[in-house]
């Protein structure tokens, strides 16, 4: 067997180790350089998370004694500016969209080490404790935080990702290395060009965020919000279980909550955990799971010396948000957040004045009292099925235990305009009707309390097309 030879007939020398190392480094450099360019061009500039962390970095030399942490429920329900105006504190919001509780721990740790804060307000909801961390939320959070830190601290943040369950696996590790695969600008070449232009022309992260989402307005101290208003006729879509189901709180999330409780206690920091306001229908839809699981969070917080408040259980005589205060099923809008923040400031200030606040809210331990307190129709949903040309529809009202509801079923055209009454007011929540030959049927159910003279209080639509 003859060895391969070069054109001049001499055998090829094996590549030296040094040459192999150099070639590997060159290839690695090309991959890293390409990745950096892709992140620069494709990773959205001006995300809400980036606004928060860029503003926090700019406040490095300012006095901050309180931080708000958590996901979008805390981000869009608690206005630090209102708290400071009422309490005389200096508050900053580190709450960001889809912030997993592991990232919340990182935020609390950062606030304690960099500003020696004395109070942490953690906004939570049911899904804070029941859902596994979302890869996109986790990676974009660290990406935004690290972009405004020193290199050693940024490396530490990325190294911290490797301690999270599942992240050392190949797929998730690659997501960390190539974040533009998780979050990237939409809209084609023009949007990419705009993304690059804003990075180059001195556009601030706040300006970029407001360009990217014109409905969002930055207020200050890490906080911004929307002016949307909830459409209760679409309550089904607005319910959290519609998107996420109803699961028990995970052991991992409960363990991380305990880490936050311990961290605050060890550093003499007051931890205030707030289950932020929701429309009543988005509490009632969990059934008995809500008090069963939320009580676990309350017990963990209070056993560690923290303050726990479920704003959904506050008595109406103290705090009673309306549907107009909500942007959707999980978040307050700007007006609603301003009102709730003022009430939260009052709630936090009362113990300092020697007042007992325990009587201001209901308890998970006597859930029936809360259910009886919902003396209105929060929403109604309408389910239907079609068989042999007949549609059977059933309405489900979301209200307290003492409310009697009556229903009116109406036929509608394709645009949702009422064309006739299918069945007038009755306590029967079901109705049956024939489906037109073309298969199109749209029905609206109106609801009101028995004895009311209102045209209706809540309604929703059902269509055979869906």
Q: What is the pLDDT of residue 1?
A: 46
Q: Are residues 430 and 287 in the same domain?
A: no
pLDDT-wise least confident of 73-82, 106-115, 159-168: 159-168
- The whole-angstrom separation of Cα 236 and Cα 241 is 9
Q: Are residues 311 and 449 in the same domain?
A: no
Residue 413's domain is classified under what CATH number? 2.60.40.10
Q: Are residues 130 and 263 in the same domain?
A: yes
Q: What is the pLDDT of residue 166?
A: 66
pLDDT-wise least confident of 54-63, 157-166, 223-232, 259-268: 157-166
Q: What is the pLDDT of residue 143?
A: 82
Q: What is the mean pLDDT of residues 270-296?
A: 98
Domain stops at, among 347, 369, 391:
369
Q: Are residues 329 and 381 in the same domain?
A: no
For residue 440, tell me if it sits in a domain: yes
Q: Which of 39-48, 208-217, 372-381 has the highest mean pLDDT?
A: 372-381
For residue 6, tell me if it sits in a domain: no
Q: What is the pLDDT of residue 426?
A: 97
Per-residue tokens: 146: 């690290």
Question: 44 or 86: which carries more pLDDT confidence?
Answer: 86
Whether pLDDT at 270 is above 80 = yes
Domain stops at, among 318, 337, 369:
369
Q: Are residues 261 and 241 in the same domain?
A: yes
Q: Are residues 204 and 79 in the same domain?
A: yes
How many domains in the chain? 2
Average pLDDT, the chain: 91
For residue 15, tell me if it sits in a domain: no
Range of the domain at 427: 377-463
Q: What is the mean pLDDT of residues 248-274?
A: 97
For residue 339, tell me if it sits in a domain: yes
Per-residue tokens: 187: 């809209």
Q: Are residues 355 and 453 in the same domain?
A: no
DSSP assignment, residue 176?
H
Per-residue tokens: 427: 């306590």
pLDDT band at residue 44 using 50, 70 and 90 as cut-offs: confident
Residue 267's domain is classified under what CATH number? 3.40.50.1110
Q: Are residues 254 and 307 in the same domain?
A: yes
Q: Are residues 360 and 411 in the same domain?
A: no
Q: Are residues 365 and 411 in the same domain?
A: no
Cα distances (Å, whole numbers) of residue 21 to 13, 34, 68, 282, 315: 16, 20, 48, 59, 69
Q: What is the pLDDT of residue 12?
A: 61
Q: What is the mean pLDDT of residues 67-71?
A: 97
pLDDT band at residue 168 using 50, 70 and 90 as cut-offs: low
CB atoms within 10 A of CB 287: 12
- The whole-angstrom separation of Cα 436 and Cα 9 is 87
Taking alpha carbons only, the member of 395, 391, 392, 367 closest to residue 382 is 395
pLDDT band at residue 466 using 50, 70 and 90 as cut-offs: low
For residue 18, tell me if it sits in a domain: no
What's the half-sphere exposure (Cβ side, CA atoms, 13 Å) at 53? 24
DSSP assignment, residue 218?
E
Q: What is the mean pLDDT of residues 185-211?
A: 88
For residue 23, tell me if it sits in a domain: no
pLDDT band at residue 284 using 50, 70 and 90 as cut-offs: very high
Q: Are residues 265 and 321 in the same domain?
A: yes
Q: What is the mean pLDDT of residues 82-102?
A: 95
For residue 459, tell me if it sits in a domain: yes
β-sheet bridge partners, residue 426 = 407
For residue 395, tell me if it sits in a domain: yes
Q: What is the pLDDT of residue 23?
A: 73
Q: What is the pLDDT of residue 345?
A: 98
Question: Is the separation of the CB atoms in 121 and 67 below 8 Å?
Answer: yes
pLDDT band at residue 16 using 50, 70 and 90 as cut-offs: confident
Q: What is the pLDDT of residue 6?
A: 47
Q: What is the pLDDT of residue 174?
A: 67
Whether pLDDT at 378 is above 90 = yes
Whether pLDDT at 332 is above 70 = yes
- The whole-angstrom separation of Cα 50 and Cα 96 is 9
> Above pLDDT 90, what percent of the chain?
69
Whether pLDDT at 438 is above 50 = yes
Q: Whole-prediction pTM value?
A: 0.89
Domain stops at, among 312, 341, 369:
369
pLDDT-wise least confident of 3-7, 262-266, 382-386, 392-396: 3-7
Q: What is the pLDDT of residue 161?
A: 76
**Residues sharing a CB contact under 8 Å with residue 353, sequence separation 6 or more, in sequence order:** none
pLDDT band at residue 215 using 50, 70 and 90 as cut-offs: very high
Whether pLDDT at 8 is above 60 = no
Q: Are residues 137 and 252 in the same domain?
A: yes
Whether pLDDT at 371 is above 70 = yes
Q: State the Rg of the chain over Cα.
A: 27
């Amino acid at each position: 067997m003859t060895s391969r030879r070069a054109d001049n007939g001499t055998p090829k020398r094996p590549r030296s180790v040094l040459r192999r190392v150099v070639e590997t480094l060159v290839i690695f450099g090309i991959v890293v350089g390409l990745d950096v360019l892709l992140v620069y061009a494709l990773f959205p500039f001006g995300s809400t998370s980036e606004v928060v962390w860029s503003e926090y970095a700019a406040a490095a030399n300012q006095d901050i004694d309180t931080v708000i942490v958590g996901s979008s429920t805390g981000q869009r329900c608690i206005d630090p500016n209102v708290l400071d105006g009422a309490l005389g504190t200096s508050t900053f919001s580190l709450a960001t969209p889809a912030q997993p509780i592991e990232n919340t721990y990182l935020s609390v740790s950062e606030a304690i080490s960099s500003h020696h804060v004395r109070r942490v307000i953690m906004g939570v909801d049911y899904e804070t404790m029941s859902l596994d961390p979302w890869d996109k939320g986790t990676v974009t959070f660290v990406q935004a935080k690290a972009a405004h830190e020193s290199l050693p601290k940024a490396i530490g943040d990325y190294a911290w990702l490797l301690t999270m369950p599942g992240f050392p696996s190949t797929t998730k590790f690659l997501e960390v290395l190539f974040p533009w695969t998780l979050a990237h600008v939409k809209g084609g070449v023009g949007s990419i060009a705009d993304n690059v232009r804003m990075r180059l022309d001195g556009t601030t992260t706040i300006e970029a965020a407001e360009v990217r989402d014109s409905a969002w307005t930055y207020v200050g101290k890490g906080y911004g919000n929307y002016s949307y208003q909830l459409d209760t006729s679409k309550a089904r879509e607005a319910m959290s279980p519609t998107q996420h189901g109803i699961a028990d709180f995970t052991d991992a999330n409960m363990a991380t909550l305990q880490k936050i409780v311990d961290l605050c206690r060890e550093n003499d920091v007051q931890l205030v955990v707030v289950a932020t306001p929701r429309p009543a229908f988005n509490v009632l839809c969990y059934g008995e799971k809500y008090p069963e699981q939320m009580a676990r969070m309350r017990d963990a917080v209070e056993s560690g010396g923290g303050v726990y408040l479920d704003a959904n259980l506050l008595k109406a005589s103290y705090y009673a948000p309306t549907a107009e205060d909500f942007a959707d099923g999980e978040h307050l809008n700007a007006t609603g957040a301003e009102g709730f923040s003022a009430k939260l400031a009052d709630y936090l200030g009362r113990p300092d004045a020697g007042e007992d606040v325990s009587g201001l809210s209901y308890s998970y331990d006597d859930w029936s009292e809360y259910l009886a307190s919902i003396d209105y129709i929060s929403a109604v949903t309408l389910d239907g099925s079609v068989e042999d040309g007949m549609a059977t529809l059933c309405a489900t009202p979301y209200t307290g235990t003492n409310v009697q509801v009556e229903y009116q079923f109406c036929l509608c055209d394709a645009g949702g305009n009422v064309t006739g009454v299918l069945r007038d007011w009755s306590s029967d929540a079901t109705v049956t009707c024939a489906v037109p030959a073309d298969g199109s049927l749209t029905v609206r159910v109106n609801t009101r309390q028995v004895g009311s003279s209102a045209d209706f209080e809540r309604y929703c639509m059902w269509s055979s097309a869906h």
